[in-house]
Amino acid sequence: MKQITMTDAESDRLPSDPDDFDWVVAHHQKRIFRTLLCLVRDVDAAEVLTQECFLRAFRKRNTFRGESSLGTWLMSIAVNLAHDHNKNHRWAFWRRLMRVDSLEQIHIADAGRSPELVIIERELVDAIQYAVQRLPERQKAAFLLRFVEDMPLEDIAEVLALELGTVKSHLHRATEAVRKTCIKQGIRTGQLQSPLE
Amino acid sequence: MQDRQDSSGSRQHPMDAEALEQKEMDLESALAMFRSSTRTAAERPEWFWKKQHAVIMDRLYEPIPTRRPGRALAWSTAALAVLFCLFFLVQPSKAPAPDLPAGADQTLLIEVERELSKEYPEALMPAALLGDGTENLQSRQ
């Protein structure tokens, strides 16, 4: 079995042997799962889609030309899978809504903080989460890739198959929507401006 | 006058910059909290990752399911057959004419003849009786 190294993880060719594909899964599965969980809001679905993402990557390994990094390519597969899933499961809105509480457990470190401050921070994160879930698919994906995964704008453009300017526009709109929702809910976040630079 | 405006403007500028800086910090802190909470929510125990890894690796060895073109054809044929049957079964049948009692025509003809043979129509019978009464009175006189 091939040894896992960062160089291998970002190499421009995918292994053709399933045994050698092992390191790709080990290196990227957490990130892919996290992104899918953010996009589909369903732990079971995110788990299944993560598996599907790697299967699809393995089956279509010949189409990977190495123009982008392997992580970006896998992320684009994951985003497309999440998009298809959400499109085909609109009826499951209420089911997702029922699961939101369990999924949106706020994990804010409260050591050394006053209870009031912790509550305010939880409300803030809830408000952002609420706003993000109501964004259109592309805007939501761009927002999450940028602000949760810390991806560069160029990589987001590749993942979403969009122009760089379009990604900036999506991010600006998403940030504005988040800011407005927070204000509507009476939560002061300061002026949420697009920190795109 | 110009100097006064310049000096107030130069005082305003750092205040605006400070406010913007504060807002920027608020934003960064809000997004950092969001990032942290989202990442924590996606954290799973080590056994979860191992299990998922094993499932993925097992599935890599599965043969790729090929789509059978005949299956879609069979399903569409079956659906058409069901629709065809439903069309003929549900189609409303023509309602039969109501059965008339035997001799109904004959009875009707007798009724018509009886009406025609009457000297006065039924509606004018009171007037006819009045006429008869007048004739009887005249004959008595």
Q: Is A147 helix (H, G, I), strand (E, B) or coil?
A: helix
Q: What is the pLDDT of residue A3?
A: 41
* Cβ-Cβ contacts under 8 Å, B39 against chain A: 34, 148
* Cβ-Cβ contacts under 8 Å, B49 against chain A: 29-30
Q: By a Cβ cutoff of 8 Å, what residues of chain A touch chain B?
A: 18, 21-22, 25-26, 29-30, 33-34, 37-38, 47, 50-51, 54-55, 58-59, 103-109, 121, 124-125, 128-129, 144, 147-148, 150, 182, 188-193, 195
Closest CA to A188 of B76, B106, B23: B23
pLDDT, tens digit only, all 197 positions of chain A: 344 344 444 455 666 666 678 888 999 999 999 999 988 888 889 999 999 999 999 888 888 877 788 899 999 999 999 998 887 766 565 555 555 444 444 455 555 667 777 777 788 888 888 888 888 989 999 999 999 999 999 999 999 999 999 999 999 999 888 888 777 766 655 444 444 44
Cα nearest neighbour of A26 on chain B: B53
Burial pattern A118-147, b for ≥16 Cβ within 10 A else e, equals: eeebbebbbbbbbbbbebeebbbbbbbbbb
Q: What is the pLDDT of residue A195?
A: 46
The whole-angstrom separation of Cα B11 and Cα B4 is 11
Mean pLDDT, chain B, integer: 77
Q: How far is A129 from chain B (nearest CA, A)?
A: 8
Closest CA to A54 of B122, B112, B56: B56
Contact B36 A107 (CB under 8 A): yes
The whole-angstrom separation of Cα A106 and Cα B37 is 6
Which of B20, B23, B53 comes nearest A26 by C-beta? B53
The whole-angstrom separation of Cα A71 and Cα A121 is 32
pLDDT tens, position by position, B108-129: 899 888 888 877 767 777 777 7
Cβ–Cβ < 8 Å for A152, A142: no
Q: What is the pLDDT of residue A192?
A: 44
Average pLDDT on B11-16 reads 71
Burial pattern A56-68, b for ≥16 Cβ within 10 A else e, equals: bbbeeeeebeeeb
Q: How far is A49 from chain B (nearest CA, A)?
A: 11
pLDDT tens, position by position, B53-97: 999 998 888 776 666 667 778 888 899 999 988 887 776 666 666
ipTM score here? 0.73
* Cβ-Cβ contacts under 8 Å, B56 against chain A: 25, 29, 50-51, 54-55
Identify which has the larger pLDDT, A152 or B131.
A152
Q: Which residues contact B36 (CB under 8 A, 6 or more apart)?
A: A107, A108, A109
Q: What is the pLDDT of residue B32?
A: 85
Q: How far is B15 from chain A (nearest CA, A)?
A: 16
Q: What is the pLDDT of residue A68?
A: 82
pLDDT above 70 as % of chain B: 70
pLDDT tens, position by position, B87-106: 877 766 666 666 667 778 88
Q: What is the pLDDT of residue A15?
A: 67
C-alpha B110: how far from chain center = 58
* Cβ-Cβ contacts under 8 Å, A22 against chain B: 53, 57
Q: What is the pLDDT of residue A196?
A: 46
Contact A190 B60 (CB under 8 A): no
Cβ–Cβ < 8 Å for B44, A40: no
pLDDT tens, position by position, A96-107: 555 544 444 445
Which of A58, A109, A150 comes nearest B60 by C-beta? A58
* Neighbouring C-alpha atoms within 13 Å toward the C-beta of B90: 6
